[in-house]
């Protein structure tokens, strides 16, 4: 794929209202599974304790619900443990949506000044931020329990230096489906237990 096409694919995927509706739907299912599971400490019933975030990088208007991070609190007054389920929309505490972090991390080949300016104009992402994300894939992501689990499922050795392209390339379907597939696998990174593994 040429550099220009690569950029256009990212642009059209991140402008897709369908993509964000799909991701929201997946998150609703993940939240429901967490709710049914109950409190991790005492098995207590969970009450909703959602919070609003201000995610960046979508090229389509996100409704209020799409900006809500689903979360729960134990209904037991002595416990009140918070349970925040995995998410395919939010990648840890990062302000950029997971879809944006994944796709823009793949746009690395010979970024010209003009293309960098365009990325900044469209997504508000600086070249430094993209470089930090790319380093995170190579250096930090490969240390996470999430990756260690994934690695065990791959048929052949992954090219860590080509992350996340290598992972995206292994997913089935077209651009949008592949992205959703990968975000599903990365969802454990969005929970508190993996929080220390993330960078902003």
Give the interface with Zn ion as residue ranges (CB under 5 A): 39, 41-42, 44, 74, 76, 79, 81
Nearest residue (CB) to Zn ion, 9 versus 79? 79
Question: Is the Cβ of residue 45 or residue 109 nearer to Zn ion in the bound state?
Answer: 45
Taking the complex as a whole, how short is the minimal distance between the CB of residue 138 and Zn ion, in angstroms? Answer: 38
CA dist., res. 49 & res. 8, Å (int):
38
- From the CB of 37, what's the least distance to Zn ion, in Å? 12
Nearer to Zn ion, 80 or 108 (CB): 80
Q: What is the 3-state secondary structure (H, E, C) of the chain?
A: CCHHHHHHHHHHHHCCHHHHHHHHHHHHHHHHHHHHHCCCCCCCCEEECCEECCCECCCCCCCCHHHEECCEEECCCCCCCEECCCCCCECCCCCEEHHHHHHHHHCCCCCCHHHHHHHHHHHCCCHHHHHHHHHHHHHHHHHCHHHHHHHCCCCCCCCHHHCCHHHHHCCCCCHHHHHHHHHHHHHHHHCHHHHHHCCC
Task: Quote the CA–CA distance of 29 and 87 in Å, as a whole number.
Answer: 10
CB nearer Zn ion, residue 55 or residue 85: 85
Q: In angstroms, what is the minimal distance from the CB of 79 to Zn ion?
A: 3
Q: Which is nearer to Zn ion, 42 or 177 (CB)?
A: 42
Asked if residue 66 lies in contact with residue 17, where contact means CB atoms within 8 angstroms, the answer is: no
Minimum separation from the CB atom of position 39 to Zn ion (A): 3
Cβ distance to Zn ion smaller for residue 43 or 124: 43
- In the complex, the smallest distance separating the C-beta of residue 36 from Zn ion, rounded to whole angstroms, is 15
Please, what is the minimum distance in Å from the beta carbon of residue 70 to Zn ion? 17
CB 18 within 8 A of CB 112: no
């Amino acid at each position: 794929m040429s550099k220009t096409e690569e950029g256009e694919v990212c642009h059209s995927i991140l402008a897709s209202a369908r993509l964000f509706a799909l991701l929201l739907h997946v998150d609703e299912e993940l939240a429901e599974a967490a709710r049914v599971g109950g409190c991790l400490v005492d098995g207590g019933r969970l009450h909703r304790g959602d919070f609003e975030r201000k995610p960046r990088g979508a090229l389509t208007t996100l409704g209020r619900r799409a900006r809500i991070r689903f979360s729960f609190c134990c209904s037991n007054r002595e416990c009140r443990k918070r349970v925040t389920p995995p998410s395919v929309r939010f990648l840890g505490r990062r302000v950029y949506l997971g879809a944006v972090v994944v796709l823009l991390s793949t746009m690395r080949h010979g970024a010209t000044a003009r293309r960098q300016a365009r990325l900044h104009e469209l997504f508000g992402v600086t070249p430094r931020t993209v470089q930090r994300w790319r380093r995170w894939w190579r250096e930090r992501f490969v240390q996470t329990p999430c990756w260690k689990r994934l690695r065990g499922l791959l048929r052949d050795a992954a090219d860590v230096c080509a992350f996340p392209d290598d992972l995206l390339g292994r997913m089935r379907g077209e651009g949008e489906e592949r992205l959703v597939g990968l975000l599903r696998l990365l969802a454990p990174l969005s929970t508190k237990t993996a929080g220390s593994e993330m960078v902003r």
